[in-house]
């Protein structure tokens, strides 16, 4: 059940809830503002805990107090905001996530919180409210399970943002609305990426896209196998040959009817709903091959970003392209040494059937060329295991020959905390994927050196006439351990980043 979010004008200490949340900066000895009022109502018990060192205000640290009738709420949770000198929206998100996680452990159903950072923190009410709601909903997420027993214990049903200033209530409500749209869009992507691949087939994702598009006002076009064949997408079809599941190609559009007057941005997402590696079987990762159900995370992210663009009514023409298929093995499956021709007319030699993601993206990027006035084309993909060797679970790799596009994406990354790190796109890498039998080969195997950059260079080979960036998020799509806002499992990394990029474009 989705958490309800409401905004209330009033005082946190007078709010009836199962638990109220206030905050504390690190190093504060006498709490002020709403926290100070609550402390006085409790007879200075928070001040006593501060003096004892039990409440220090470290970022994300929580302290629970019981009110024993002194306030309408039976519980008060104090969350640390960290060092005031380094405070910002990132700290708000961390604090809000930590507070929600702690509140959920108490069994509270109705939780009220002040909007962290709008008082002494000096943040704009709308931005702070957005950060609180975004972090709270994303932290409270529980992955779907197909289990016969009892599900997880009930979570928080309602989050109430309490704003004392009448002048700021409207801005807080607007920020809360934006935060909810963004978070729920990301959760839509998480649900898709977490679902088992026998459920989340290409056909299932098509139906999810259609339902979401109808609910949010997007145009949705689905290309079937015969349509894909007619377009000459032989490289995409080569990957799909080994599966009984038919390939699909989903086109989502926001503001399609205004394409002639608005800037066009195209988002492309890899949608391999399960990747065995094909005949180049994933032997080295057989213990974790189950995670390949999430090899469509890029496609899920793109669908989610289009949902948010529509619900936020951004004045842009945004197009989402998601090629969907499985990479399986049968008597018709692609083989190392095969050569296929794609939509651009260029040919590709298969060296590794496990380099299938770049293959389906090659034809999707070719299709993006149909939007001749595209101001930017960005693809997202769980493309290479080696990006994790380069960056660890800390940042996704960013590849682009366009400096201005890189700057915009890095700005969105800094604003959201979804980190990107620029990777090289040297012309020399094109030599590494030169083929004796085709225009290009899809892998440098058995030599894995520079695998992330040569994969990006392969994609660039199929881009024609538009600014382009590639984001390799293979190391970020699944969290092996929980961190603030990202519980263990599917992360939907990239959704908030893309939405910020689109919002920045029009502001």
Query: What domains can you pick out in the chain, each with its CATH number?
Result: 4-164 (3.40.220.10), 184-506 (3.40.630.10)
Instruction: Write down the pLDDT at residue 151.
Output: 65
Give the per-residue pLDDT at 121: 85
Q: Residue 284 pLDDT more than 90?
A: no
CB–CB of 335/350 below 8 Å? yes
CA-CA distances (angstroms) from residue 387 to 145, 352, 383, 430, 482? 29, 17, 8, 18, 21
The answer to whether residue 426 scores a pLDDT higher than 70 is yes
Catalytic residues: 282, 358
Model confidence, pTM:
0.96
- Is pLDDT at 292 greater than 80 in this prediction? yes
Give the DSSP H/E element, type plus range, for residue 449: none
Q: CA distances (Å), 162 to each of 11, 105, 166, 172, 335, in order?
A: 7, 22, 11, 9, 60
Residue 497, exposed/middle/buried by CB under 10 A (0-12, 13-18, 19+)?
Answer: buried
Give me the phi and psi of 348, to 5 degrees please: -140, 135
**Angstrom distance (rounded) from CA 71 to CA 44:** 13
pLDDT tens-digit profile of 427-453? 999 999 999 999 999 999 877 677 899
Compute CA distances 463 → 43, 358, 370, 371, whole Å. 66, 12, 11, 12
What pLDDT score does 119 carry?
A: 82
pLDDT at 82 over 80: yes
Instruction: Assign 313 to helix, strand or coil.
Output: coil
Q: What count of other Cβ atoms lies within 10 Å of the Cβ of residue 156? A: 23
pLDDT of residue 74: 98
pLDDT at 420: 98
Q: What percentage of the chain carries pLDDT values higher than 90?
A: 92
Cis peptide preceding 235, ω within 30 of 0: no
H or E segment and range at residue 151: none
pLDDT at 285: 67
Q: 264-269 and 317-327 as β-strands: parallel, antiparallel, unpaired?
A: parallel
Contacts of 478 (CB under 8 A, 6+ apart): 193, 291, 294, 297, 489, 490, 491
pLDDT tens per residue, range 358-377: 999 999 999 999 998 999 99
Provide, rounded to the nearest whole percent, the portion of the chain with pLDDT above 70: 98
Q: Which residue has the tokens 């390949």?
A: 292
pLDDT of 152 reads 66
Residue 77's SS3 state is strand
Residue among 335, 342, 323, 380 at smallest CA distance from 461: 342
pLDDT digits (tens, 9 = 90+) for 105-155: 999 999 999 999 998 889 999 999 999 999 999 999 998 877 777 666 779
């Amino acid at each position: 059940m989705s958490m309800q979010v409401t905004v209330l004008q009033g005082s946190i200490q007078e709010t009836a809830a199962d638990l109220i949340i206030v905050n504390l900066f690190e190093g504060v000895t006498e709490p002020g503002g709403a926290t100070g009022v609550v402390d006085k109502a409790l007879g200075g018990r928070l001040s006593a805990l501060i003096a004892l060192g039990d409440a220090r205000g470290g970022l994300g640290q929580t302290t629970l107090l019981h009110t024993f009738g002194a306030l309408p709420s039976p519980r008060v949770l104090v969350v640390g905001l960290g060092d005031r000198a380094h405070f910002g929206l990132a700290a708000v998100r961390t604090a809000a996530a930590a507070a929600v996680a702690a509140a959920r452990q108490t069994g509270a159903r109705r939780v009220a919180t002040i909007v962290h950072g709008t008082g002494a923190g000096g943040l704009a009410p709308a931005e702070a409210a957005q950060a609180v709601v975004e972090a709270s909903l994303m932290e409270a997420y529980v992955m779907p399970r197909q289990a016969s027993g009892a599900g997880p214990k009930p979570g928080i049903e309602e989050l109430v943002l309490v704003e004392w200033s009448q002048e700021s209530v409207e801005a807080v409500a607007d920020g809360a609305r934006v935060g909810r749209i963004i978070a729920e869009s990301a959760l839509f992507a998480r649900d898709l990426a977490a679902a088992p691949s026998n459920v989340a087939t290409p056909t299932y994702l098509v139906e999810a896209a259609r339902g979401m598009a109808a609910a949010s006002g997007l145009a949705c076009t689905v290309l079937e196998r015969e349509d894909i064949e007619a377009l000459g997408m032989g490289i995409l079809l080569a990957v799909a040959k080994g599966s009984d599941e038919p390939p699909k190609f989903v086109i989502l559009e926001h503001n399609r009817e205004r394409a002639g007057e608005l800037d066009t941005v195209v988002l492309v997402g890899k949608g391999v709903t399960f990747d065995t590696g094909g005949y180049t079987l994933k032997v080295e990762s057989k213990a974790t091959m189950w995670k390949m159900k999430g090899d469509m995370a890029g496609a899920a992210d793109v669908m989610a970003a289009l949902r948010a663009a529509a619900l936020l009514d951004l004045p842009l023409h945004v197009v989402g392209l998601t090629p969907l298929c499985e990479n399986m093995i049968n008597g018709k499956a692609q083989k190392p040494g095969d050569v296929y021709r794609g939509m651009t007319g260029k040919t590709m030699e298969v060296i590794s059937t496990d380099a299938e993601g770049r293959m389906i993206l090659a034809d999707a990027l070719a299709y993006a060329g149909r939007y001749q006035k595209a101001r930017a084309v960005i693809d997202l993909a769980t493309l290479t295991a080696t990006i994790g060797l380069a960056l660890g679970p800390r940042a996704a790799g960013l590849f682009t020959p366009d400096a201005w596009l890189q700057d915009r994406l890095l700005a969105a990354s800094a604003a959201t905390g979804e980190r990107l790190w620029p990777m090289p796109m040297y012309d020399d890498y094109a030599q590494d994927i030169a083929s004796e039998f085709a225009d290009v080969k899809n892998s440098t195997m058995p030599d894995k050196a520079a695998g992330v950059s040569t994969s990006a260079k392969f994609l660039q080979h199929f881009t024609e006439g538009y600014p382009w960036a590639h984001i390799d998020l293979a190391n970020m799509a699944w969290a092996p351990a929980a961190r603030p806002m990202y519980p263990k499992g599917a992360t939907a990394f990239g959704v908030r980043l893309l939405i910020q990029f689109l919002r920045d474009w029009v502001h």
